[in-house]
Structure 1
Amino acid sequence: MRIIITGGGTGGHLFPGIALAAALRRRFPGCEIMFIGTKRQLDRDALAGLDFRQESITCMGLKGMGLTHRIRSLASLPKAVLEARHLIKQFQPELVFGVGGYVTGPVLLAARLLGVPACIHEQNAIPGLANRLTARFVNKVFVSIPGDYPFPLKKTVVSGNPVRAEILAAAEQKQSQQTADQPFTLLVMGGSLGAHRINMLMLEAMAIIKKQQPVPFRLIHQTGAADAEQVRTGYAAADIEAEVVPFIKDMAAVYAQADLAVARAGATSLAELAVMGLPALLIPYPHAADDHQATNASYYVAGGGARMYREEELNAGRLAAAIMKLAGNANKLAQMGAAMRQMAVPDAAERILADCMELIEK
Structure 2
Amino acid sequence: MSAYKIILSGGGTGGHIYPAIAIANELKSRFPDAKFLFVGAKDKMEMEKVPQAGYQIEGLWISGIQRELTLKNLSFPFKLVSSLLRARKIVNYFKPDIAIGTGGFASGPLLQIATTKKIPSLIQEQNSYPGITNKLLSKKANKICVAYDGLERFFPENKIVKTGNPVRQDLLDVDTKREEAIKAFSLKSDKKTLLVLGGSLGARQINKLIKKELDFIQTHNMQVIWQCGKLYYDKYKIYNNTKDVQVHAFINNMDYAYAAADVIISRAGAISVSELCIVGKPVVFIPSPNVAEDHQTKNALSVVEKQAGIMIKEADLEVDFQNKFSQLMASPEKQAELSKNIKSLALVNATKEIVDEVEKLLKK
One fold, TM greater than 0.5?
A: yes
> Is residue 312–residue 320 contact of structure 2 (8 Å, CA) maintained in 1?
no
1:20 aligns with 2:19: no
1:224 aligns with 2:229: yes
2:69 aligns with 66
CA shift for structure 1 position 7? 0.9
1:300 aligns with 2:308: no
> Is residue 175–residue 259 contact of structure 2 (8 Å, CA) maintained in 1?
no
2:97 aligns with 94
Q: Residues 178 and 117 from structure 1, CA distance in 2 versus in 1: closer, same or farther, beyond 3 angstroms?
A: closer
2:156 aligns with 152
CA shift for structure 1 position 199? 0.6
Letter matched to residue 122 of structure 1: E
- Give, in whole Å, the separation in 2 of the partners of 1:161 and 1:311: 25
- Give, in whole Å, the separation in 1 of the partners of 2:226 and 2:217: 15
Letter matched to residue 131 of structure 2: G
- Give, in whole Å, the separation in 1 of the partners of 2:231 and 2:59: 26
Q: Residues 114 and 27 from structure 1, CA distance in 2 versus in 1: closer, same or farther, beyond 3 angstroms?
A: same
1:233 aligns with 238
1:195 aligns with 2:203: yes
TM-score by length of 2: 0.90
CA shift for structure 1 position 181? 5.2
- Give, in whole Å, the separation in 1 of the partners of 2:66 and 2:102: 17
- Give, in whole Å, the separation in 2 of the partners of 1:276 and 1:207: 27
1:320 aligns with 322
Letter matched to residue 87 of structure 2: A
- Give, in whole Å, the separation in 2 of the partners of 1:314 and 1:60: 31
- Give, in whole Å, the separation in 2 of the partners of 1:331 and 1:321: 17
TM-score by length of 1: 0.91
CA shift for structure 1 position 279? 2.0
1:3 aligns with 2:3: no
Q: Residues 115 and 295 from structure 1, CA distance in 2 versus in 1: closer, same or farther, beyond 3 angstroms?
A: same
> Is residue 6–residue 37 contact of structure 1 (8 Å, CA) maintained in 2?
yes
CA shift for structure 1 position 353? 1.0
2:247 aligns with 244
Q: Residues 65 and 46 from structure 1, CA distance in 2 versus in 1: closer, same or farther, beyond 3 angstroms?
A: farther
| Deviations 1:12-36, CA, capped at 9 Å, x for gaps | 1111111111211222223222111
1:29 aligns with 32
Identity %: 32
Q: Residues 267 and 105 from structure 1, CA distance in 2 versus in 1: closer, same or farther, beyond 3 angstroms?
A: same
- Give, in whole Å, the separation in 1 of the partners of 2:327 and 2:237: 25
CA shift for structure 1 position 74? 1.6
- Give, in whole Å, the separation in 2 of the partners of 1:174 and 1:300: 25
- Give, in whole Å, the separation in 2 of the partners of 1:338 and 1:163: 19
- Give, in whole Å, the separation in 1 of the partners of 2:247 and 2:324: 21
2:342 aligns with 340
> Is residue 268–residue 285 contact of structure 2 (8 Å, CA) maintained in 1?
yes
> Is residue 18–residue 164 contact of structure 1 (8 Å, CA) maintained in 2?
no
Q: Structure 2: where are the runs of 5+ without partners?
A: 183-187
